[in-house]
């Protein structure tokens, strides 16, 4: 397995390096790079736009269309994003599959999903993904679309990532997956991306590799972005209101997030960051108006709530996965935090 964390060498005279998720540079002619985007209902408009608009700008900067894309929905009809806007498409999933099967295109298939991804597996989508695997067409999953690749069995023995809100549910539902919290992970013929603004970071790697760093930097200037992030950068899951917290508190929160199932006592956390318990408590009160352990408990309960809402796992299993020794204690804490029993939370309004 190869991860694309190293610098790329995009140009060789008048030729351009082919974008290969596995990391091998394949020099080819200056052909147009064709993408097929499969949009599912509830997809993230932010995630899709962050991926497509830089491609448009790259074409504009270069004065020619190095990138072209086709949009497809399940039935060929307009598909609504999570914000309620309808996206016009060019074709349906079946046509996209036929395009892959001919062996004449595309260079990559992008799956773009968002809300309720757990209910969006379909025969048509699975067929496209299987055809891509059979014909060696790279697949990229944006945002929650990683879930659909997992359901299709494409992620066995492969590291992957997904938007942080779905990470716990993905890990618990598909226990054999190697789920990271990286912005994106590139492996042979497979790319998984956290979506949202991470889609921008991913596509900038593609532009830089295909057209060179100068072109990529020109695209950044157009988007008013200073730079793009590395694939191995972590997803930042701390609330915006907490963005001004100091580095020790951020490090403590990171440790807490990594030890949800096996909660650590404060003394061990303090040792990990080279501070005393009293110092950690003072820093938390100052930054978050909360004690460290209260914050820790709320993080575990918040993850439990997401698992209840996003999976069919038994509540007992969820309580264990979130570090509670007994279901009764978990239910009591859950009621205190959210004003309802876990079972009522799953039932919905």
pLDDT digits (tens, 9 = 90+) for 229-269: 999 898 875 544 455 678 889 899 999 999 999 999 999 99
Across 229-264, b (16+ Cβ under 10 Å) vs e yields: bebeeebeeeeeeeeebeebbebbbbebbebbeebb
Find the distance separating the first CA and the last CA of the chain, reported in whole Å. 44
CA 274 distance to own-chain centroid: 32
Residue 13, pLDDT > 70, answer no
- Would you place residue 160 in the very low, low, confident or very high pLDDT band (cuts 50, 70, 90)? very high
Residue 28, pLDDT > 50, answer no
Q: Which structural domain, as residue segments, surrounds residue 271?
A: 240-347
**Residue 36 counted as domain residue:** yes
| Pair (286, 206) in one structural domain | no
Cα Dmax for the chain: 68
| Pair (251, 325) in one structural domain | yes
Q: Is 157 exposed, middle or buried (0-12, 13-18, 19+ CB in 10 A)?
A: exposed
| Pair (154, 40) in one structural domain | yes
Residue 305, pLDDT > 90, answer yes
| Pair (55, 21) in one structural domain | yes
| Pair (291, 171) in one structural domain | no
**Residue 301 counted as domain residue:** yes
| DSSP H or E run through 79 | strand 79-80
**Residue 191 counted as domain residue:** yes
Which pairing describes strands 86-87 and 79-80: parallel, antiparallel, or unpaired?
antiparallel
CATH code, domain with 323:
1.10.10.60
Among the candidates 223, 257, 288, a domain finishes at 223
Distance CA(38)–CA(114), nearest Å, equals 12
Among the candidates 163, 189, 223, a domain finishes at 223
Among the candidates 223, 257, 281, a domain finishes at 223
**Residue 206 counted as domain residue:** yes
| DSSP H or E run through 206 | helix 198-211
**Residue 3 counted as domain residue:** no
Average pLDDT, whole number, for the chain?
88
**Residue 337 counted as domain residue:** yes
* pLDDT mean over 263-280: 95
- Would you place residue 1 in the very low, low, confident or very high pLDDT band (cuts 50, 70, 90)? very low
Work out how many domains the chain is built from and give that number: 2
* Residue 146 main-chain phi, psi, to 5 deg: -55, -35
**Residue 5 counted as domain residue:** no
Q: Give the pLDDT of residue 7.
A: 29
Residue 196, pLDDT > 70, answer yes
pTM, 2 dp:
0.81
| Pair (295, 261) in one structural domain | yes
| Pair (266, 155) in one structural domain | no
């Amino acid at each position: 397995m190869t991860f694309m964390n190293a610098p790329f060498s995009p140009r060789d005279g008048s030729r351009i390096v082919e974008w290969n998720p596995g990391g091998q540079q394949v020099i080819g002619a200056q052909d147009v790079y064709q993408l097929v985007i499969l949009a599912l209902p509830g997809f993230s408009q932010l995630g899709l736009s962050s991926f497509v608009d830089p491609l448009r700008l790259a074409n504009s900067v270069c004065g020619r269309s190095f990138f072209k894309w086709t949009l497809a929905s399940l039935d060929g009809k307009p598909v609504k994003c999570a914000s309620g806007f309808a996206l016009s498409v060019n074709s349906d999933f079946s046509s996209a599959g036929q395009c892959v099967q001919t062996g004449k295109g595309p260079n990559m298939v992008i799956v773009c999903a968002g809300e309720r991804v757990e209910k969006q597996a379909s025969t048509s989508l699975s067929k496209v993904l299987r055809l891509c695997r059979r014909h060696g067409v790279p697949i990229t999953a944006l945002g929650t679309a990683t879930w659909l690749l997992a359901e299709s069995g494409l992620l066995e023995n492969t590291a992957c990532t997904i938007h942080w809100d779905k990470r716990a549910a993905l890990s618990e539902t598909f226990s054999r997956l190697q789920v990271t919290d990286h912005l994106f992970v590139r492996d042979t013929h497979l790319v998984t991306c956290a979506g949202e603004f991470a889609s921008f970071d991913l596509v900038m790697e593609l532009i830089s590799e295909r057209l060179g760093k100068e072109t990529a930097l020109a695209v950044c200037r157009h988007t008013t972005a200073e730079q793009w992030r590395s694939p191995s950068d972590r997803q930042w899951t701390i609330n915006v209101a907490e963005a001004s917290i100091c580095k020790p508190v951020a490090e403590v929160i990171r440790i807490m997030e990594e030890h949800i199932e096996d909660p650590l006592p404060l003394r061990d956390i303090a040792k990990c960051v080279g501070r005393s318990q009293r110092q950690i408590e003072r820093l938390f009160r100052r930054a978050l108006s909360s004690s460290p352990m209260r914050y820790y408990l709320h993080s575990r309960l918040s993850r439990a709530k997401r698992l209840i809402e996003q999976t069919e796992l038994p509540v007992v299993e969820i309580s264990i996965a979130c570090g509670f020794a007994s279901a009764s204690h978990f239910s009591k804490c859950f009621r205190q935090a959210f004003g309802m029993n876990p079972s009522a939370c799953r039932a919905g309004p």
